[in-house]
């Protein structure tokens, strides 16, 4: 059975050129699997269908080109893998309820749906030397929508796979604007269990049921940028805690991780960037 690394390797090859054939049969041939095998394991690992992923990667490419190039919309569409101007326009309207022209002229491009199924994958860590930069910054409180779970260590990945897509879907269904990348906050890590809150920063919006409104705390925050696979995040958390202690400071709450890189569009774990934050008193 293909694992996360196999799917990431496939995404890396496929996303290198969004103009190539990225239909399920083509991806299956690229991977050397059957169509059904490819579709089943792609959804299991990535959390979305190959078609949804392909459209999202092409939209991301097109949105970037619209903002940075003077090419015509038709040329942008074709160079991003869409069959025509009309196909591209329909995809933009379905995804963001706008037009390519408005997307180009607007103040900023809309946020792209992250490939939520790929966060906190269990991967074999790479042995990379890491030079960690840590800063003490002032942050304003950030409103969020989130879900809370108490899970054993080996249940963390499953909890995130449940919480992040649910919060994202709630935001999409209720027209709530997201204000940053997905996050996980660790409220308690004792007794062999994690108490976590996982969700999305938002601009306003209300929760429902298990989805709760809250905030990431403001004030002084020690911040480190972790580069590499999620499996090695523990070392960054430890380094951040040691740095805070060396500065004569004390943590004033649980740390959190903000996943700056979408693994679906940047499949190489060596290129993933995660912001690790620890509030201090």
Domain end point (choices 105, 140, 164): 105
Coil vs helix vs strand at 160: helix
Coil vs helix vs strand at 162: helix
pLDDT > 90: percent of the chain: 42
55 inside domain: yes
Q: Give me the number of domains the chain comprises.
A: 2
Q: Which residues pair with 56 in a beta bridge?
A: none
Look at residue 183 in the predicted model and tell me its pLDDT.
95
**pLDDT digit string (tens) for 137-147?**
999 999 999 99
| pLDDT of residue 193 exceeding 60 | yes
User: What CATH number corresponds to the domain at position 269?
Assistant: 3.20.80.10
Look at residue 278 in the predicted model and tell me its pLDDT.
96
pTM: 0.72
**pLDDT digit string (tens) for 18-52?**
899 999 999 989 888 888 888 888 887 777 889 98
196 and 151 assigned to the same domain: yes
253 inside domain: yes
pLDDT > 70: percent of the chain: 90
Look at residue 4 in the predicted model and tell me its pLDDT.
73
Look at residue 156 in the predicted model and tell me its pLDDT.
82
81 and 190 assigned to the same domain: no
233 and 129 assigned to the same domain: yes
137 — phi, psi (to 5°)?
-130, 160
Q: What average pLDDT score do residues 158-171 get?
A: 87
234 inside domain: yes
131 and 82 assigned to the same domain: no
Coil vs helix vs strand at 83: coil
| pLDDT of residue 128 exceeding 50 | no
**pLDDT digit string (tens) for 66-114?**
888 889 999 999 999 999 999 999 998 888 778 899 888 865 555 556 6
Domain end point (choices 59, 84, 105): 105
79 and 178 assigned to the same domain: no
User: b/e per residue, 233-244, with b = 16+ CB within 10 A?
Assistant: beebbebbeebb
| DSSP output for 176-243 | PEE-S--EEEEEE--TTEEEEEEEEEEES---BTTBEEEEE--EEEEEEEEES-GGGHHHHHHHHHHH
112 inside domain: no
9 and 139 assigned to the same domain: no
59 and 159 assigned to the same domain: no
Q: CA–CA separation, 254 vs 75, rounded Å?
A: 48
Domain end point (choices 83, 105, 127): 105
164 inside domain: yes
Highest mean pLDDT among 155-159, 212-216, 269-273: 212-216
| pLDDT of residue 126 exceeding 70 | no
Q: CA–CA separation, 26 vs 241, rounded Å?
A: 47
Look at residue 127 in the predicted model and tell me its pLDDT.
46
Compute the mean pLDDT over every residue in the chain, rounded to the nearest whole number.
Answer: 86
Q: Are 215 and 143 in contact (CB under 8 A)?
A: yes
67 and 41 assigned to the same domain: yes
Q: CA–CA separation, 208 vs 185, rounded Å?
A: 20
107 — phi, psi (to 5°)?
-65, -25
54 inside domain: yes
Looking at per-residue pLDDT, the higher value among 63 and 139 belongs to: 139
192 and 165 assigned to the same domain: yes
Coil vs helix vs strand at 80: coil
29 inside domain: yes
User: What CATH number corresponds to the domain at position 58?
Assistant: 1.10.10.60
39 and 172 assigned to the same domain: no
List the one residue out of 215, 124, 210 whose CA is nearest residue 170: 210
Look at residue 129 in the predicted model and tell me its pLDDT.
44
Look at residue 117 in the predicted model and tell me its pLDDT.
65
Q: CA–CA separation, 167 vs 114, rounded Å?
A: 12
111 inside domain: no
Cα–Cα distance list, 35 to 24, 49, 82, 109, 233 (Å): 6, 12, 22, 34, 35
20 and 145 assigned to the same domain: no
136 and 91 assigned to the same domain: no
| pLDDT of residue 130 exceeding 80 | no
Structural domain span for residue 193? 118-279
């Amino acid at each position: 059975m293909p694992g996360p690394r196999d799917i990431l390797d496939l995404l890396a090859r496929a996303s290198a050129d969004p103009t190539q054939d990225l239909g399920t049969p083509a991806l299956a041939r690229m991977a050397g699997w059957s169509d059904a095998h490819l579709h089943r394991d792609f959804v299991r690992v990535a959390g979305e269908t190959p078609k949804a992923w392909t459209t999202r990667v092409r939209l991301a490419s097109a949105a970037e080109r619209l903002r940075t190039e003077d090419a015509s919309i038709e040329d942008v569409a074709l160079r991003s893998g869409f069959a025509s101007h009309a196909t591209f326009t329909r995809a933009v309207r379905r995804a963001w309820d706008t037009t390519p022209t408005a997307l180009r002229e607007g103040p900023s491009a809309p946020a792209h749906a992250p490939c939520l199924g790929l966060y906190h994958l269990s991967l074999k860590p790479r042995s990379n030397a890491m030079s960690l930069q840590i800063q003490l910054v002032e942050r304003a409180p950030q409103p969020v929508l989130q879900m809370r779970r108490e899970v054993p260590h080996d249940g963390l990945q499953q909890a995130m796979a449940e919480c992040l897509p649910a919060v994202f879907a709630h935001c999409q269904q209720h027209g709530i604007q997201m204000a940053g990348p997905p996050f996980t906050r660790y409220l308690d890590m004792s007794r062999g269990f994690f108490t976590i809150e996982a969700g999305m920063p938002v601009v306003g919006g209300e929760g429902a049921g298990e989805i709760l409104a809250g905030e990431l705390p403001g004030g002084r925050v020690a911040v480190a940028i972790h580069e590499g696979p999620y499996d090695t995040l523990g070392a960054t958390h430890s380094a951040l805690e040691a740095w805070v202690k060396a500065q004569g400071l004390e943590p004033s709450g649980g740390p959190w991780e903000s996943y700056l890189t979408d693994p679906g569009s940047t499949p190489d774990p060596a290129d993933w960037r995660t912001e690790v934050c620890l509030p201090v008193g």
